[in-house]
Structure 1
Amino acid sequence: MTTDAPTPAELDEWVARLAPELGLDAADVPTGRVLDLARDVAHGVARPGAPVSAFVVGLAVGRGLDLDEALARVDALLAERRD
């Protein structure tokens, strides 16, 4: 993998290698949704907030919060910032 922005294939390859290392099935990684979250936070809050927000959502999901609910809560907070 290069240091430039990865192609979708390179990102898929990375997730396919990373997920099993962390005891996960790569098929369970919603890459597109995580990227959407990062984009929305980067544009709506600040770029450094993107990875931190993805980590926080991952923690919440890992502790039992439904992914759709977690993302809806992030969306609601972002909407409050726009108002």
Structure 2
Amino acid sequence: MTVMDEWVTAACAELELDPAEVSVPVVLDLAKDVAHQVLRPGAPVSAYLLGLAVGRGADLATAASRLSGLAASWPVQLDGTSLAG
């Protein structure tokens, strides 16, 4: 068992969740996409938003794919300011 597995198991126990329902690779891939294509602090916020969406009934893989797609299409930022809007 890896440290990540141990952490997820302990965190799930603390929050009364089933660790079998946690897809660590999907969440990490989303966080990587946002951190590299949008901005680093957006990664944990996006993971939280993904969790909210899934908690409200969204499919995990579909919601993560939509957010990754949004990150991939995000305008390049040259000085930390958004080129969108």
TM-score of the alignment, normalized to the shorter chain, above 0.5: yes
Structure having the higher Rg: 2
Deviation at 1:82, TM superposition (A): 5.6
Aligned length: 76
**Aligned-pair identity (%):** 54
1:18 and 2:11 matched: yes
Secondary structure at 1:65 match in 2: coil
Query: How far off its partner does 1:42 sit?
Result: 0.3
Gaps of 5+ in 1: 1-7
Higher relative contact order structure (alpha carbons within 8 Å, sequence separation ≥ 6): 2
User: Which residue in the other structure is 1:54 paired with?
Assistant: 47
| Runs of 4+ deviating beyond 6 Å | none
Structure 2 unaligned residues grouped into runs of 5+: 77-85
Give the root-mean-square deviation of aligned CA atoms. Answer: 1.7
Specify the code of the residue in structure 2 equivalent to 1:9.
Answer: T
Normalising by structure 1, we get a TM-score of 0.82
Tell me the amino acid that sits aligned with residue 18 of structure 2. Answer: D
In the alignment, the residues of structure 1 paired with residue 16 and residue 69 of structure 2 have an alpha-carbon distance, to the nearest angstrom, of 31
